[in-house]
Amino acid sequence: MTENPHRHAGEKLIATNKQARRLYEFLEVFEAGLVLMGSELKSLREGRVNFMDGYVRFQNGEAWLTGVHIAPYANAGMDPHEPTRERKLLLHTREIDKLQALASQKGLTVIPVKLYFKNGRVKLQIALGKGKNVHDRRDDIKARDMQRDTARQLSEYRK
C-alpha cells in the first residue's frame, strides 16, 4: 500500500467535500479547529458526515460552520446532538478578520473542504473560493480528458 503524499503524519481523513473542487476555484486554504459535542466526535469517528450545503459564516468576530450534517450517534443516550447545528470554528482573530474581509467581496465564499483528525484533534480545512461558471467546469473536464488520453498514449507507446 502506498502512502498518500498529501497527507501528513498523524492525520486521519474523515471526509472530503467532493463538490467543492468542482464548483469552486480555491484561492487560499486555512486549517481550523471545531467545537464539538461528545456524540458528534463519536459520529465523526464512524465517518458519518455530509458536507451538502456547508459554508462558513461570520458573526460578531467569530466564524461558524453552517449546513454540515453530522449524523446522530446511535448510542448517544437521552440527549443526542442536533445534526445540522452551527458549529464554532477555532481560528486566530487575524485569520477571521482576513477571511471576513475577503468573503465580503462579490463572488467569494468560505467553504469546508475536508475534515480530518490531526494528533487526536478534529480539524477542518476551509478554503476561500470563487464560484466557477459552466465554462470553467467544461474547461476542467476537457483538460482532465486530454491529460488522461496523453497518459494512455504514452503508456501504449512505452510497451
Distance, CA of 67 to chain centre: 12
What cell numbers appear for 9 in the block? Answer: 503524519
Q: Is residue 2 part of a domain?
A: no
User: What integer pLDDT is reported at residue 7 of this predicted model?
Assistant: 58
Domain count of the fold of the chain: 1
User: What integer pLDDT is reported at residue 1 of this predicted model?
Assistant: 41
Query: Domain range for residue 74?
Result: 11-133
Tracing cell 480539524 back to the chain, one arrives at: 123
Q: Which residue, among 56, 51, 37, has the nearest Cα to 95 in the 3D structure?
A: 56
CATH number of the domain that 52 lies in?
2.40.280.10
CA distances from 100 to 52, 58, 60, 63, 70 (A): 22, 7, 11, 9, 25
| pTM for this entry | 0.77
pLDDT digits (tens, 9 = 90+) for 75-124: 877 777 888 899 999 999 999 999 999 999 888 999 999 999 999 899 99
Cα–Cα distance for residue pair 36/41, rounded to 1 Å: 7
Q: Is residue 155 part of a domain?
A: no
pLDDT digits (tens, 9 = 90+) for 27-39: 999 999 999 988 8
Helix (H, G, I), strand (E, B) or coil at 2: coil
- Whether 23 and 109 have beta carbons less than 8 Å apart is answered as no
